[in-house]
Structure 1
């Protein structure tokens, strides 16, 4: 059976993405780089690569930089889940242009989660995993201690679901996704607390 950490197995990368999406709060490359470096370290990602069609041992590592993201589109690695399984993971930048802030989306594909045996659906009409939510929120908190950001959102395909300007420092009372919201310099986490999820995918790749 193929490992959920195998790059070459396309099914590991399929099915959508469980994400920690971070609104950096700036379009400045130096600030984006600071969050990227902090995020990669906080998640304890093994390696940093640019190609999905080669295993890590078959390709040279690339720098974990904004430049590499621009060159390859995604940065790829392997990460250990709280359950102990090692899976493929990645990060993509969503650049907002001069008039809005940029995002960094750290993700584990659903295909790899399936192969690792981590339940995130359980027959309900939505995708959610308390294990993944708590783990990604912890990564977000650790990232924030090293490089602050405007907003983090946690869940299945959450990129673009909200932004700091819309929230204006107020945590939603009803949450179909998790929020990492800075208020007066402190990061607050509001876990998903509704019995349903969004009816559409919020972001795109």
Structure 2
């Protein structure tokens, strides 16, 4: 039997990533540290692990921005709203002095937890059909983002498969869900493609 929350099962890490990207703003390690801790808490990640340098599994590390800088990716497990447990990970992207903190759910693990996911985004049930499962996942991740925003305000959040911000949110059809700043905080705009 296979388990979607087995970190040592390489199949769980395949297929690309379904992501929650928090665009934090100007590079600031203290802000990243607070956002990372808030994100892990809000989504209920258990553990903070990194791949061992010799490739023999995982080692536990202390959650924090220092671990992100030293190891790149942090990994753990979480429980989806369906009750299924899956592996997850996080990393920091610092590009042109802008920090983006990302939580990712590997599609290999998600597909083991929910058969509807299949070969998303490359099979016949992708696109608009995939909104049958993506809408609930997106809304849950949006609620996680809102919880983090209450602790550490950020510029915007994006939710979807391997987000390319320019392509995914600027087009007539959105492949990613978006939380954008508005007068009252954040406005949720669901994916529609």
Q: How would you bin the TM-score normalised by the shorter chain?
A: 0.7 to 0.9
Count of matched residue pairs: 181
5+ unaligned residues in a row in structure 1: which ranges? 195-205
| The structure with more strand, counted as a fraction of residues | 2
1: CA distance between counterparts of 2:135 and 2:80? 13
Alignment partner of 1:154 out of 130, 154, 159: 159
The normalised TM-score by structure 2 is: 0.85
Aligned to 2:75: 76
For 1:118 and 1:134, the matched residues in 2 are separated by 19
User: What SS does structure 1 have at the residue aligned with 2:175?
Assistant: coil
Q: How much has 1:137 moved relative to structure 2?
A: 0.9
Aligned to 2:86: 87
Query: Gaps spanning 5+ residues in structure 2: where?
Result: none
Change beyond 3 A, Cα 1:150–1:111: same
CA RMSD of aligned residues (A): 2.3
Q: Where in structure 2 are the equivalents of 1:21-170 lying within 5 Å? A: 21-51=21-51, 53-54=56-57, 59=59, 61-96=60-95, 99-120=96-117, 121=120, 123-126=124-127, 128=131, 129-158=134-163, 160-162=164-166
What per-residue deviation string (whole Å, max 9, x for no partner) do you get for residues 104-159 of structure 1? Answer: 1101100001111252347334365122211111111111111111110001111x
Q: Identify the structure with the greater helix proportion.
A: 2
Cα distance in 1 for partners of 2:34, 2:184 equals 17
In the alignment, the residues of structure 1 paired with residue 177 and residue 89 of structure 2 have an alpha-carbon distance, to the nearest angstrom, of 20
Shift of 1:185: 5.5
Instruction: Give the drift of 1:26.
Output: 1.6
Task: Give the structure-1-normalised TM-score.
Answer: 0.80
- Asked if 2 retains the 8 angstrom alpha-carbon contact of 1:26 and 1:32, the reply is no
